[in-house]
Amino acid sequence: MRLTVLHPEVKLLIAEFAGGLMPIRLPDDELLSLVIKTQKEAILAAKMKGLFSFYVPALPSSTVITTSLITAFFDDDDEPLTIRTPLLCDDDFSRGIVEILKYDEVDIYFFDEHNYEWMSFRTVLEDNGSCLIGDEDIHLLGYHPETVKSIHGVLNDWFGSRTQEDDECAIQAVFKEELSPQDIFVLDMTPEVNGYQGSSGYRHDTLTRTDPGYHQERDISACLLRAFEPKQIMMNPRRKDTFKEILDHLVLTDKLAILIQAKDSPTSEAGITRTLERKRRSTHSQIDNAIRQINGASRYLKRQTTAKLVVGDNDVDVSLGKRRVIGLAIVKELFDDEGEAYAAACRKLSGLNGGGMVMDYNSFHAFTHRFRSETEFVRALETLVERVQSSGWISVKDEVFAGVLDWVEQVRTSDPDH
C-alpha cells in the first residue's frame, strides 16, 4: 500500500474518483504517476500476466483524425476486460494520460472500487505502433456530452472488430519492478463501510477470493451505505422461527422495500480464465437463483403482518405495510449482447408491486457512486425498472454514464473559471 501510506493526501481524491485512469503528480516527482481504479478481476488478470495493454487507435471524425484510449486486461485473449477513456483537448486528465503514454516508464498503482490499494509497479511502456508515434496528424476533440458518448460507441465498435495487427500495435505496459508487496490482507474497521445492521464491525479482504459470498455481501453493504442510513440496511436477515436466511440484503425506506440477492463466483486465476461460454452460463444460472430467492423472500414477508427476523444478534420486526417492493438481483457480470434474456429475467420479478432489475456488480458500484442519496438512488432505480418494463433491456452502466455526463456538464456550466 505504498501510495496511500507515503501520500495519504491522495486518499480523498481516489475515493471521489468513480473509476478508470487517473494521472497524479506526487510531491517532488517530475513525472506523472498513474492510478488505475478498476474491478478486482482486471487487477488480478494484470498480475497474472505481468502486463496489460493500452490501445490508442487513429479514429476518423467528421473533420479530423482523432484518438482515444482502451485499456485492456487479458482475462480472455479475445474479449478482455476493458476501460474506455475518451481523450479530449480541453481536459487535464486527458492531457496527463497522453503525457504518460509517451513515457518509457511509469509508476502505476492499482485500486479497487472500495479504494483498497492492491499492487503497484514501475512499468515499462513499449509502444509498438500506436498513433502517438505514427505519421498521422492527430487532433483531440473538444468536450461535449454527445461527443463523449460517440467516442465511447466508436471505441467499443473498433475494439470489437480489431485485428491482430491492432493488437501488435498496442502499447504494452510490462511490469518491471514491484513498488510494494503484492500479498496484501486488508482489515477494515471504518464505520463508512461497516455501519449497517448485521455488520460484525469489520471486514477483511484479499485480491484473490475463494469465498466470494462473504466478500460480495460486504461489498454491496458498503455500496448501499453511500445512499442509505445504516439503520435502513439489513444484511443477511434470517427468519426467527427457523433461523434461515431469507436473502442477502433488505433495505427499508418509509415508502420502499428493496430486496437484494447477489450471486458471485470466486475471484481466482481459475475463475477469471474460464471460457467465455462458461461465464455466460454461470451468469444465467446466478440470475435465476437470485430471482428465485427474491421472490421467495417477498412471499414470506408479505404473508406476515409483522415478520420476525434476526439481523446479526438482534431481533427485528419488519412490516412491509404499504411499501412498494422492488427486487434487485446482482451478479458478477452481464454481457452486452444478451439484453433480451436479462429483460426476460426482470419480468420474473413482475409479481413484486415495484417490479425488479438485474445488475452486474460493477454497474451497481457505479450506480451507488453516482446516486449518493436515498432520493436520488430510489428515483434512478424506479426509473430503470419502469423503462425496462416498458421498453425492454437498458444497460445500467450506460444509464449511469449518461448521468455522469449530465453532472459533468452541470459542473462545467456553473464554473465560470473552467
Return the C-alpha cell found at 365: 458500484
Each domain of the chain, given as residue ranges in start order, spans: 2-178, 185-409
pLDDT digits (tens, 9 = 90+) for 235-246: 999 999 999 999
pLDDT of residue 39: 93
pLDDT of residue 409: 62
pLDDT of residue 139: 93
Non-local CB neighbours of 187 within 8 Å, separated by 6+ positions: 202, 203, 204
Architecture of the domain whose range is 185-409: 3-Layer(aba) Sandwich (3.40)
Low-confidence ranges of the chain (pLDDT < 70): 1, 402-418
